[in-house]
Structure 1
Amino acid sequence: MPEHGSLGAYLRNRRTKLDPVGFGFSGRRRTAGLRREEVAQRANISATWYTWLEQGRGGPPSAEVLDRIARALTLSDLEREHLFLLGLGHPPEVRYQGPDPITPRLQRVLDALTYSPAIVRNATWDVVAWNRAAAVVLTDYARLPPDGRNILRMIFCDARVRAAQADWEAVARFVVGTFRIDAARAGADAAIAPLVDELCQRSPEFRALWQDNEVGRHGEGVKRLRHPVGGELALEYSAFLVDGRPDLGMLVYQPATEADRAVIERLVDGTIALAAE
């Protein structure tokens, strides 16, 4: 259950850390920060109701009221999430904010995985970052235009990618179900609509799978590939969410056997020449 006393303490703490001058309020003050009525004014709620919230009275607030207060107090996304957890016992609905570049630190994490292909994809399943192992084992994403790096387009519209899947039908069904739930979790249903419309027109197979409304989720598993130079490869994969970025997911592939590892090492080190495009 929400701890309303903790909610009140958190609201008071955030309120007293704000500079009134920066919000257009002036006058001499005996205490730091905004007054309760000033927060209420900014949140477009009654001063009495806001006072009750700080005092732990009046029952739990609605999500709309908490959202208004979060904006009034200029809370960060993390602070807003904490506010909802205190007030309602659950995080707020995800607000999809569109694609942002990944941080250099996250890219360094990928690059440190020398012989483990790893990618980062966004909520619309565009590959936005990758390491060298991914480039030589999966796809050389740098040679593709940005809109060509979309996993759905590659699976359903690229004959070479399709041929590389040991069991394309199972992969396609899994990808569509996982894509659906990833987009919903990131609050990106509106953002994916143009891509879904495009793929429904370009691929009858995608359209049929999308209309099935099945859902799935990445966790762990084994992916089998037909590499044009390395031959048959088995890769164990693990999926991770990027903390603070519900729109980003990281996939890391590990060679399933020592033989697979030996092939990947040779591909990454350049001792097996990749086929010319």
Structure 2
Amino acid sequence: MTPLLFPAYADAIRELDVAAIASPAALPEHFLLAREGRISMHYIPFEHVNTEARIVVVGIAPGFVQWKNAMSEAQRRMTAGDDQAEVLRAARLAGAFSGAIRPNFVALLDAIGVQRWLGIASCASLFDADAHMVQISAILRHPVFVDGRNYSGTPGMAKLPFLREQVLRYFALEATQLPDALYIPMGSSVAEGLDWLVREGVIRRDRILHGLPHPSGANAERVAYFLGRKERASLSSRTNARQIDAARSTLMAHMAALSDR
């Protein structure tokens, strides 16, 4: 298991003036973990792994705003005298699925039966009483910036040795601690990355829930159609109803098969 990096950064985090950092370009050099050409990766205290988790929600990478939120939360917890484990747990959860994205995400999971597999009334409790069942993660654990902007999946991570190395160094080791969890990719780039890890023998293919629409507000029409809140006839040309229908059917069958085991 990779040793925790946090002890080497704790003093710098404690002394950091988070409000004064206005862009990725202003991140202190001390937090730089690696750089290759246009791509840089910077430390964030996202090292907590909930080994009880049955659901792993996988984003692409923390962005700049998440970096600031995590650093602020870590500072707050250290000032309060919390131990290292609690600082890391709180920092990783800071801002996770806040705003409109959370109810969309809960509705999507409930629609395919994840709550029945977990034995709970609704996946809404994953953000409250049943938080011990979920790990909020990212296939690239630490923030990655391309030309000073949040990495969004281009260039593809499976095609770049630099990014593949980061996936294997951090997320793959996290996944080995959660072999029986279900992995939910947030977006096509993450799905491709998880499929690469299947080929690498890190994750079992049947543990990945492919095909859920991304729950962001920008994806509102696809989410509404997936949930049956919008009729097919009223969809815009940007929404592929057949593809969504197929994904919904596959996901529901997948969850039904898991629940019957």
TM-score (norm 1): 0.25
